[in-house]
A and B are shown apart, each in its own frame.
Chain A
Amino acid sequence: MKLILRATCVLAALICAGSAGAQVWKPPTLMKKLTNGLTVVVSEDHSAPTFGLCISYGIGFRLEPEGRTGFAHLFEHMMFEGTPVAPKGVFDRVIEGGGGFNNGDTRYDFTEYIESGPISTLEPILWLEADRMKTLDFSVKNLDNQRNVVEEEVRVNVLNQPYGSFEWLDLPQKAFDKYPNSHNFYGDFKDLDAARIADVQKFYEQYYSPNNAVLAVVGDVKPDEIFALIEKYFAGVHPRPTPPHPDVSEVPQTAERRGEQTDKLARIPALAIGYRMPPRTSPDAIVGAVTGDLLLNGEASILYQALVKDKQVAVSVSGGDNWPLGNAFEYDGPTLMTSFILYPSNVTENQVVMAYDQVVAELATKGPSREQVERVAAKMRSDWYDQLEIPINRASALSHAVLIEGNFDSVYDTPDRVAKVTPEQIRDFAAKYLVAKNRTVINRVPALNENGAAPSGGAQ
């Protein structure tokens, strides 16, 4: 979240008829591990003279220290603040001066650094990525500067925005009980203000090591040459021990959780509903992903049709499994299937929830039709390929998958696994997971309506 801002394998990509005649697409991809533990993935794509690169480190906001909410993201900003040999500003000058761009993103269980540019820019960028894996310029001045920038980011995305991102910032805090899953991921200002350069140093030492990272490069490269180049620049980076992964699992929820918030900036009410999802490794996880899309993805989705079109109790419906923090598989601990619903002021929260519950109850008893599931599978295949079309996005998907799962199989076989999910599995999934005692609901209503009076609807 540092800044504002697809490829065809002409010869090597495999396209063939897969299950049920679906189009299967698997561009060539190779993986290697350096002796210092850095995993490298390369996918060749000569459709344009460009590259996309993603390096993900196995640390996200879930495991940031107590008393330091928002620190993983603040730290992400510090990765752009220079090193002793390449001071602040060099990275941006080199990537932009070469015709490319860079960015960073902090998520539950990883932090990614991404670049894309003309292929002529790749070698200096690899050098710079290796350089910031060795050490950083731990500068108090730069920390103070980025603390200000991050606090402005929180203002622009949370404090000065209607709804304040409550559907992904507040909902997990109410839905979960353990600190790693239930704190303010963007950071309380008192915690951001309390961050010291020693915290930056310690976090870097603990988590920003080659053995806790996966580097993926996609684009106009020859695998042998690129592996050699990466060996040249990264082999000298020393591995460091990574702290043991704590148990972040939650005690199962036993009762529905409801919350009410008021919003000084919003003009119409909103609801966020989150169901706890199975662990990523559960066979139910793939069914959850399909169920999420069936219910929530696009105008053909069941909830859009029921709530916005038929019953007209909602203005918009969006959401999904692990939404909006990555795709339905990019997590390594508790996550939610979230629905975010804007609704008119003359409709009550209960009317929306009742209409919602009717949809879910029908899914849990009758299940979807075979045709519905086939349509959703086609849509998911199409959407999935979209995130692999251009090099920088494919590099991200490969890097995240290898970091979380140890291999990149899911990057190419998810559409086929989706296509095998049956209506009965979805029905059973809904009956097991999409139940009131497994969910958290937050209703957020405008503090005042347009006339300055208390809102007529919204509250129960």
Chain B
Amino acid sequence: MKSLLTGICILILAASAYAQKEQPLPTDLPTYGPQNPLRAPDVKTVKLDNGLTVWLVSRPGFPKVAFSISVDGGLAADPSDRPGLSELFAKVLGQGTKTRSAKQIAEEIQSAGGDLYSFSSRDRTSVTTNVLSSKMEAALGVLADVLENSSFPDSEVAVAKKNASDELRQNEAQPSFQASRALARVMFPGNPYSVVAPTQESLALMTPAELRVEYARRFRPDHAVLVAVGDFEMAKMTALIQAKLGGWKAPSTPAVAAAPKPSGAPAHSIYFVARPNSVQSTLLFAAFGPLRGDADYEATEVANAIYGGIFSSRLVLNIREDKGYTYSPSAFVQTLKSAGLVRTQADVRNAVTGASFNEISYELNRVATTDPTDEELGKAKRFLLGIEAIQLQSSQALAGELAGLWGDGLTPDEIGNYGKKVAGVSAADADAAAQKYFPASRMTIVAVGEEKVIRDSLAPFGLPIQAAP
């Protein structure tokens, strides 16, 4: 075990003889029942006169309502000299309006049974809450006030700045944060997608006035969606939204522009983040992938599930269930509005850093070059269909998914269409997507851990190794 690196340097891909054999299933095991068609939610779409997009799903019975509001503009829309402004912005949004203090907002939402969450992703800023349906009117009143009248009080900005600074320090102690931040810088040089968090320097410069400017720029009804899912009558909810938000005015100033598409793929090389005292290396492999609306998006999801996206996938069976290198390997297709990524991540003990790198590369190439078995293809497709139905049972999850579709410029029909498209993915489609996106030679690798462990373990693979920017 100690000299695990000798010998693997040249025969990287041939070194692993691991491939799973499919055992027959137990003879007495009952077969699956008839497949019930999964029901797409019935989404009512409304457009208010001020341009606000409203998507509503009425689900009587369970006595709650989930609200999700999204506007264009997140971390990628921040001024270039204030990287990460959105993080502070989202922290202070909800901390005061012209007529309510932060404490009043928190207590009124608590009375309705909820919490007010606000957060910025790269492309959007969102406000959500999930309340008792008997209190939905009160909750919507607070939400409308936050959307239209937030004041970003100086005192709240000061507290949030201090806490954001400490939280950044805290995040920087976590390998997953370090890996994601480094990856964004490596994949998107010169592009606003390179920023996932503020720096101490940028935080120190941020002012309440800058937050108010962003608020005026982003929070406008004609570039916003309000999604409500839960226990309400359509007519009543529509009237309530009209009453609370019909008076919200759209400015005539230009709206926030989407981030530009990234220019050119980054190098196939290794970037490390030195993290003294690490007992594991966090390995992150990434390459550009499809956008959410691209024709091969679903085929890429299928290929990813075969490769490493589900528990019984090749990668998990290999590096976890056969070799025991890691607890939590994961592979997923990430989509931003103007860029897509295929990502693999695993935290592995220091001693198997090189061996894990080797096996991940092997599985990436295997999915790119070998046909899936019928069982693999069928399992991946049924999994994606089933999991979507399971996840969208939750009102909060459905509200969030719908807001995300709006953000990507898609319609609610996409939920039903996704199922049809997944069902239509052929072995050839999955193969083509795997060949296009998954070869190891396309990957940029970020490794977080002890510098010496990373250098010594990964040097044999012959790729340039450099400190992450």
Binding site for B on A (CB under 8 A): 3-4, 6-10, 13, 15, 21-23, 25, 47-50, 85-90, 92-94, 96-102, 116-124, 127-128, 131, 144-153, 155-156, 159-162, 220, 264-268, 298-300, 305, 308-309, 312, 315-316, 342, 344-345, 374-376, 378-379, 381-383, 385-386, 389-392, 450
Docked CA distance A98–B375 (Å):
11
Tell me how far the C-beta of A154 lies from the nearest C-beta in chain B, rounded to whole angstroms: 8
Which chain A residues border B35 with CB–CB below 8 Å? 118, 120
Q: A47-B59, A149-B320 are in contact. List 13 more A-B contacts (CB 8 A).
A: A4-B330, A8-B61, A13-B61, A88-B321, A89-B321, A90-B29, A92-B312, A96-B311, A144-B324, A152-B326, A299-B116, A342-B166, A375-B111
- The answer to whether the Cβ of B185 comes within 8 Å of any Cβ in the partner chain is no
Tell me how far the C-beta of B450 lies from the nearest C-beta in chain A, rounded to whole angstroms: 11
Q: Are A382 and B130 in contact (CB under 8 A)?
A: yes
A268 contact from B166, B325, B385, Cβ within 8 A: B166
B64 contact from A124, A146, A389, Cβ within 8 A: A389
Tell me how far the C-beta of A302 lies from the nearest C-beta in chain B, rounded to whole angstroms: 11
Q: Are A48 and B39 in contact (CB under 8 A)?
A: yes
B348: nearest chain-A partner, CB-CB: A152
Q: Are A312 and B61 in contact (CB under 8 A)?
A: no
Docked CA distance A13–B311 (Å):
35
Which chain B residues border A6 with CB–CB below 8 Å? 62, 393-397
Which chain B residues border A99 with CB–CB below 8 Å? 382-383, 385-387, 389
- The answer to whether the Cβ of B30 comes within 8 Å of any Cβ in the partner chain is yes
Tell me how far the C-beta of A86 lies from the nearest C-beta in chain B, rounded to whole angstroms: 5
Q: Are A153 and B328 in contact (CB under 8 A)?
A: yes
Q: Are A298 and B110 in contact (CB under 8 A)?
A: yes
Q: Are B347 and A13 in contact (CB under 8 A)?
A: no
Binds A, one of B253-261, B275-283, B427-435: B275-283
Contact status of A120 and B33, CB under 8 A, knowing A6-B62, A6-B395, A49-B38 = yes
Docked CA distance A289–B352 (Å):
45
Q: Are A122 and B33 in contact (CB under 8 A)?
A: yes
A389 contact from B32, B163, B348, B394, Cβ within 8 A: B394
Contact status of A85 and B347, CB under 8 A, knowing A99-B382, A315-B163 = no
A378 contact from B60, B112, B277, Cβ within 8 A: B112
- The answer to whether the Cβ of B302 comes within 8 Å of any Cβ in the partner chain is no
Which chain B residues border A381 with CB–CB below 8 Å? 113, 132
Contact status of A267 and B324, CB under 8 A, knowing A122-B33, A375-B111 = no
Q: Are A265 and B113 in contact (CB under 8 A)?
A: no
Which chain A residues border B330 with CB–CB below 8 Å? 4
Most buried by B among A25, A97, A374: A97
Q: Are A268 and B393 in contact (CB under 8 A)?
A: no
Which chain A residues border B325 with CB–CB below 8 Å? 148, 152
CB-CB contacts below 8 Å: B346-385 with A: 347-349, 375, 378-379, 382-383, 385
Docked CA distance A376–B378 (Å):
48
Which chain B residues border A48 with CB–CB below 8 Å? 38-39, 389, 393
Tell me how far the C-beta of A18 lies from the nearest C-beta in chain B, rounded to whole angstroms: 11
Which chain A residues border B112 with CB–CB below 8 Å? 378, 382
Which chain B residues border A49 with CB–CB below 8 Å? 36-39, 389
Tell me how far the C-beta of B191 lies from the nearest C-beta in chain A, rounded to whole angstroms: 29
Q: Are A15 and B33 in contact (CB under 8 A)?
A: no
A265 contact from B39, B173, B378, B383, Cβ within 8 A: B173
Tell me how far the C-beta of A119 lies from the nearest C-beta in chain B, rounded to whole angstroms: 6
Which chain A residues border B135 with CB–CB below 8 Å? 378
CB-CB contacts below 8 Å: B118-132 with A: 130-132
Q: Are A386 and B64 in contact (CB under 8 A)?
A: yes
Docked CA distance A374–B111 (Å):
7
Q: Are A315 and B59 in contact (CB under 8 A)?
A: no
Which chain B residues border A152 with CB–CB below 8 Å? 280, 324-328, 347-349
Which chain B residues border A342 with CB–CB below 8 Å? 166, 170
Which chain A residues border B276 with CB–CB below 8 Å? 264
Contact status of A97 and B170, CB under 8 A, knowing A49-B389, A315-B163 = no
Q: Are B36 and A386 in contact (CB under 8 A)?
A: no
21 interchain pairs, CB-CB under 8 A = A6-B394, A22-B134, A89-B312, A90-B25, A94-B29, A118-B36, A120-B36, A148-B325, A149-B324, A152-B280, A264-B276, A267-B170, A300-B110, A305-B103, A309-B102, A316-B163, A342-B166, A345-B166, A379-B111, A392-B390, A450-B169
A85 contact from B26, B163, B324, B383, Cβ within 8 A: B26
Most buried by A among B38, B327, B347: B327
Docked CA distance A298–B129 (Å):
12
Q: Are B279 and A308 in contact (CB under 8 A)?
A: no
- The answer to whether the Cβ of B106 comes within 8 Å of any Cβ in the partner chain is yes
- The answer to whether the Cβ of B144 comes within 8 Å of any Cβ in the partner chain is no
CB-CB contacts below 8 Å: B271-292 with A: 276-280
Docked CA distance A161–B275 (Å):
11
Q: Are B311 and A300 in contact (CB under 8 A)?
A: no
- The answer to whether the Cβ of B74 comes within 8 Å of any Cβ in the partner chain is no
Q: Are A7 and B32 in contact (CB under 8 A)?
A: no
B175 contact from A85, A117, A160, Cβ within 8 A: A160
Docked CA distance A402–B106 (Å):
35
Tell me how far the C-beta of B273 lies from the nearest C-beta in chain A, rounded to whole angstroms: 13
Docked CA distance A6–B116 (Å):
20
Q: Are A10 and B383 in contact (CB under 8 A)?
A: no
Docked CA distance A298–B106 (Å):
8
Q: Are A89 and B348 in contact (CB under 8 A)?
A: no
Which chain B residues border A386 with CB–CB below 8 Å? 64, 130, 396
Tell me how far the C-beta of B168 lies from the nearest C-beta in chain A, rounded to whole angstroms: 9
Contact status of A382 and B310, CB under 8 A, knowing A50-B393, A128-B29, A152-B347 = no
Tell me how far the C-beta of B108 lies from the nearest C-beta in chain A, rounded to whole angstroms: 9
Which chain B residues border A450 with CB–CB below 8 Å? 169
A383: nearest chain-B partner, CB-CB: B113
Q: Are B170 and A315 in contact (CB under 8 A)?
A: yes
- The answer to whether the Cβ of B63 comes within 8 Å of any Cβ in the partner chain is yes
Which chain A residues border B60 with CB–CB below 8 Å? 8, 10
B103 contact from A15, A101, A148, A309, Cβ within 8 A: A309
- The answer to whether the Cβ of B456 comes within 8 Å of any Cβ in the partner chain is no
